[in-house]
Amino acid sequence: MPTTPEPKLITGNANKPLANAIARRMSMHRGVNVGLVDARVERFNDQEVFVEVYENVRGEDMFIVQSTSNPANDNLMELLIMSDALRRSSAKRITAVIPYFGYARQDRRSKARTPISAKLVANMLVEAGIERILTMDLHATQIQGFFDIPVDNLYAAPIFALDIREHFRDSLDDVMIVSPDVGGVARARELAKRIEAPLAIVDKRREKAGEVAEMTVIGDVTGKKCVIVDDICDTAGTLCKAAQVLLDQGAAEVHAYITHGVLSGPAVERITNSVMKSLVITDTIQPTDPVKAAPNIRIIPTAPILAQAILNIWNGTSVSSLFDTPTLEPIYEGQFGH
């Protein structure tokens, strides 16, 4: 009888600590060592990406762990070239595990003569031989429809709900979930429903990209512990301003739960100096040293849910079961201590 081959992981340079953490979790679940496939992903002198896989992958179920975060283009090219190398080495199936899917903010034509880059990236991934995508909190869920292959989109909301229950367990009745804009209401409502909390919205008017003109709070936040929920925090300008507006409207304190901590430019400094008591992010994007050192930023691991999702894909069981608290709780046991 042929033995069932184990799932095999390979990673580029985008987020090696996360890839190693996923491999460790999978080893724990499987009871056998699931290591990262030995490969080199390097640059030539002119910054061309070069990939060489040192292990036999013929007939293997391959999972490439690679966020397309900053530097987005380098990490995207690494992903495409790794996939091409595996396809040409006769891998049985190639799944791209993209914890943070870059270019997702360019999901529609917002003005005349602009691209839909998310669709272009989708085409490139499929063309490179990728047969399945596993990602987390896509900026726009309709991006799943840009692919003609299966796309599993995991949500951070169930993990955030567990964390909020733990950290606000003595004052859960005072917690209010806040969407930082009208576009994120569905995401915020999902989390509010999970912890049975009320919902408020910050309505913002932008004059131009990256600049917020005015903000209005819809809902009564007086005396509440406000938790702002969003998928991406880039320069943190909107987030810090929203936190200030909420306090001005009578909120007791402000926290934020953001899936992808892009945190570019002045973001960490802004957050450190802001009125927010805490910002909770996940490690879908590798945190920089300033992010790790920031006193009011906390990082939740995504390796437990990603490892379980990879195993579920590999053995053909449900990925959506990971959205349920009873399934998720044991995976995250002991992760949310004070």
Catalytic positions: 204
- In three-state secondary structure terms, 154 is strand
Give yes or no for a contact between 82 and 89, defined as CB atoms under 8 angstroms apart. no
141 is in an annotated binding site: no
- What is the Cα–Cα distance from 24 to 35, expressed in whole angstroms? 8
User: Is 173 known as a binding-site position?
Assistant: no
Q: Going by C-beta distance under 8 Å and a sequence separation of 6 or more, which residues neighbour residue 39?
A: 10, 51, 52, 53, 54, 55, 82, 85
48 is in an annotated binding site: yes
139 is in an annotated binding site: yes
Q: How far apart are CA 203 and CA 84, in angstroms?
A: 44
Helix (H, G, I), strand (E, B) or coil at 220: coil
* Residue 30 marked ligand-binding: no
User: Does residue 144 have a known ligand-binding role?
Assistant: no
Is 338 labeled as ligand-binding? no
307, 26 Cβ separation under 8 angstroms? yes
CA distances to 13, 67, 182 from 18, in Å? 11, 10, 32
Distance between CA atoms of residues 53 and 40, nearest Å = 7
Q: Is 137 annotated as a binding residue?
A: no
Is 52 annotated for ligand binding?
no
Ligand-binding annotation for 234, yes or no, is yes
Q: Is 237 annotated as a binding residue?
A: yes
Q: Report the alpha-carbon distance of residue 85 to residue 76 in Å, rounded.
A: 14
User: What residues are designated binding site?
Assistant: 46-48, 105-106, 139, 181, 206, 230, 234-238
User: What residues are designated binding site for D-ribose 5-phosphate?
Assistant: 206, 230, 234-238
User: What residues are designated binding site for Mg(2+)?
Assistant: 139, 181
User: What residues are designated binding site for ATP?
Assistant: 46-48, 105-106
